[in-house]
Amino acid sequence: MKRHNDAILTEKDIEKAYREALRVISLCRGSIADQTRQCMADAIHEFYHLLQVRIESNRADLVHETTTLASKPSLRIVKR
């Protein structure tokens, strides 16, 4: 059962945002030090990795999801 205010992100949406964020960082060459840009890219990579872990966790939760929808966060990530 899906709540009306749930935002749904697909893995493609997340991948697209990840690539776009890295592209923007690469465009900042010259205005931001290389070390800073690398730290930003590393942070984005780590965030993407954590989202991937969350997706896997949500897949496992979907198997067991019955009456605990009220305790779920309003952002659900699904694979399409």
Question: Is 74 part of any domain?
Answer: yes
Its pTM stands at 0.59
Dihedral sign computed on CA atoms, order 45, 50, 53, 55: negative
Residue 70 has pLDDT above 60, yes or no: no
Q: Taking residues 4-9, what's their average pLDDT?
A: 68
- Find out whether 37 and 25 touch, Cβ atoms under 8 Å: yes
Residue 14 has pLDDT above 90, yes or no: no
| Per-residue pLDDT, 62 | 73
Instruction: State the CB neighbour count (10 A cutoff) for residue 57.
Output: 11
Mean pLDDT of the chain: 78
Query: Considering only 31-35, 40-44, 70-74, which range has the smallest mean pLDDT?
Result: 70-74
Q: How many domains does the chain have?
A: 1
Q: Token digits for 56?
A: 């896997």
Q: Which domain holds residue 21?
A: 7-78
Question: Is 43 part of any domain?
Answer: yes
Question: Is 51 part of any domain?
Answer: yes
